[in-house]
Amino acid sequence: MTDKSPIIEKIKKLLALAASSNEHEAALAASHAQRLLAAHNLAMADIESERKPELADRVETSAAKNLPKWVRHLSGSVCAAFDCQAIHHPATGKLSFIGVGADVQIAAYTFAFLERTIRRLCSQYMKCAVIASTANRQRELMRQSYYLGAVSTVTVRLREQKQQTPVTPGALVPVKEGLIKKALEDLGVVRTIRSRKSYINPDAYSCGQEDGRQVGIRSALGAGKDDGARELGQF
């Protein structure tokens, strides 16, 4: 059996760099780490297994002060896939990902990649589907319906990916859950957002679902400076 210790150590160093305050450096380090994970058939459980975590970590990303429903759903799905939690701060327009070890860095990076990709696909859809006579209100309904459809498919695929490759070994699950709960308590009272009923344009929602199958979830493991060429890679 090939000794993967050198690769694991390299991934650990890259994941440490992924916590850098320099967003470009952090993104490149995270993307390279995920490329190595995929190339060597390693899971985060292999990286985390050598040490017992003591604290949860926090990674912040920019977000709208009024977070759209589809973005909330996407962040929740990514967090579920990587055993994290996401907290939105409407006053500052920030989205905080809270998790243990490399999980949180990968979750934040994957969320940013998927959000950017879905927005681009939606822009392409709107250019083709909307005609000049379409009322602004109807255009916005089509746009939001498309987003929700795409996220619904991505959510299913993230769930399937986690079932195939669990992020956390069984013994560490309660440990991580406890650390995340403690970090949330330290943040103080967190307001829960209740989603309102969504009015859906069925055609736009269906197109979003279909295009969601194109989103290269595995490409998030290999995206770097040239991610535009990889975003439509197959799962």
> 43 vs 68, 105, 181, CA distance in Å?
31, 14, 24
Q: What is the pLDDT of residue 188?
A: 75
Q: What is the pLDDT of residue 230?
A: 31
Q: What is the pLDDT of residue 70?
A: 96
Q: What is the pLDDT of residue 80?
A: 92
Q: What is the pLDDT of residue 138?
A: 92
Q: What is the pLDDT of residue 148?
A: 97
What the block records as the tokens of 70 is: 């589809």
Domain spans of the chain? 53-229
What are the pLDDT digits (tens) for 126-180?
A: 999 877 668 888 999 999 999 999 999 999 999 988 887 777 766 667 878 888 8
Closest by CA position to 7, among listed 28, 44, 37? 37
Q: What is the pLDDT of residue 126?
A: 94
What the block records as the tokens of 202 is: 């069925």
Beta pairing partners, 96:
60, 87
pLDDT tens, the chain, 235 aa long: 456 778 877 887 777 776 666 666 777 777 787 778 777 777 666 666 555 667 888 888 888 889 999 999 999 999 999 999 999 988 888 899 998 877 888 889 889 989 999 999 999 999 998 776 688 889 999 999 999 999 999 999 999 888 877 777 666 678 788 888 888 888 775 655 566 677 899 999 999 999 999 887 654 544 433 333 333 233 3
Closest by CA position to 82, among listed 54, 52, 51, 114? 114
Q: What is the pLDDT of residue 164?
A: 79
